[in-house]
Amino acid sequence: ELKVEQNPLFLSMQEGKNYTIYCNYSTTSDRLYWYRQDPGKSLESLFVLLSNGAVKQEGRLMASLDTKARLSTLHITAAVHDLSATYFCAVGPFWGSEKLVFGKGTKLTVNP
Amino acid sequence: ETGVTQTPRHLVMGMTNKKSLKCEQHLGHNAMYWYKQSAKKPLELMFVYSLEERVENNSVPSRFSPECPNSSHLFLHLHTLQPEDSALYLCASSRTGRGDTQYFGPGTRLTVL
């Protein structure tokens, strides 16, 4: 059974600090996705990582993928309050299935 | 309207009621999805439709019945639900379904009494 594990599940950090969220998965996959969800709102696509060594950056967020280690990281640089949200990674699809398997999410709170 | 819209945004129903959730995508996509998001559990895929054909059903109880009349609309018909079915139900769409980025609607918050 495919497992996608994120850690930490809860992260409280101060503005201006750096931190990394980790996403481990148990089965080889074509793609890895990062999504953001604000409270009471839907999921917003942040990044799609397609190959080993892929790195994508948008503002203060940078995502990377190591397919050999089955690990993706979401690095936050100089956090600001607006980044407070829940971040999900998802893996898939797989042969014969359209399914994406999501992690439980990391709830990030950035404090002034 | 742009993107993916869902109605209603909130729904409270009794266990004997029948209701339907509606999703509409304005992106010209060919694949649509229903997900369930419960507290403290990962997002769970329920159904996938590609070009109006159901291509995946992830062991969902029969009290949930999807319908996709065309590539822009997706419904989830609900009947005799249980309190544990209370959750946020999210609709998503993607261009072709094979790994394309999925775009999510705002969700319907369902409470079953």
Question: What are the pLDDT digits (tens) for A46-67?
Answer: 999 988 889 999 999 999 999 9
Is B99's CB within 8 Å of A31's CB? yes
Within chain B, which residues score under 70 in pLDDT?
1
Residue A93 has pLDDT above 80, yes or no: no
Q: Which letter does DSSP use for residue A41 in this model?
A: S
Q: CA gyration radius for chain B?
A: 13
At A18, the pLDDT band (50, 70, 90 cuts) reads: very high
**What integer pLDDT is reported at residue B29 of this predicted model?**
94
The residue type found at B35 is Y
CB contact under 8 A, A104 and B97: no
| Encoded tokens for A8 | 């930490």
Distance CA A64, CA A67 (A): 10
pLDDT of residue B70: 93
DSSP assigned state of A94: B
Output the pLDDT for position A96.
67
* Chain B residues within 8 A of A88 when measuring between CB atoms: 43
The beta-carbon contacts of B49-52 under 8 Å, at least 24 apart in sequence, are B49/B74, B50/A98, B50/B96, B50/B97
* A3 CB neighbour count, 10 Å cutoff: 12
Q: What is the pLDDT of residue B1?
A: 56
Contact A93 B98 (CB under 8 A): yes
Contacts with A, B 2-41, CB within 8 Å: 4, 31, 33, 40-41
Question: In whole angstroms, what is the distance from residue B81 CA to residue B26 CA?
Answer: 30
CB contact (8 A) between residue B104 and residue A43? yes
* Pick among A42, A86, A99 to test the B interface (most B CBs inside 10 A): A42
Element (H, E) at B66: strand B64-70
For residue A2, the model assigns a pLDDT of: 82
Give B-chain residues touching A45 at CB under 8 angstroms: 101-103
CB contacts of A30 in chain B (<8 Å) are 99
Write down the pLDDT at residue B55.
Answer: 78
Q: Tell which wins on pLDDT, B51 or A69.
A: A69
Residue in the structure block whose two tokens are 């990030």: A108
Alpha carbon of A112: minimum distance to chain B alpha carbons (Å):
27
pLDDT of residue A35: 97
| pLDDT for residue A100 | 86
Radius of gyration (Cα) for chain A, nearest Å?
Answer: 14
- E strand segments, chain B: 4-7, 10-13, 18-25, 31-37, 44-50, 53-57, 64-70, 73-79, 87-94, 103-104, 108-112
Q: Say how many residues make up chain B.
A: 113
A100 vs B55, B102, B103: nearest CB: B102
Confidence grade of residue A94 (pLDDT, cut at 50, 70, 90): confident
d(Cα A104, Cα A6) in Å, to the nearest integer?
7
The verdict on a CB contact (< 8 Å) between B56 and A99 is yes
Confidence of residue A28 (pLDDT cuts 50, 70, 90): confident
Q: With an 8 Å Cβ cutoff, is A91 touching chain B?
A: no
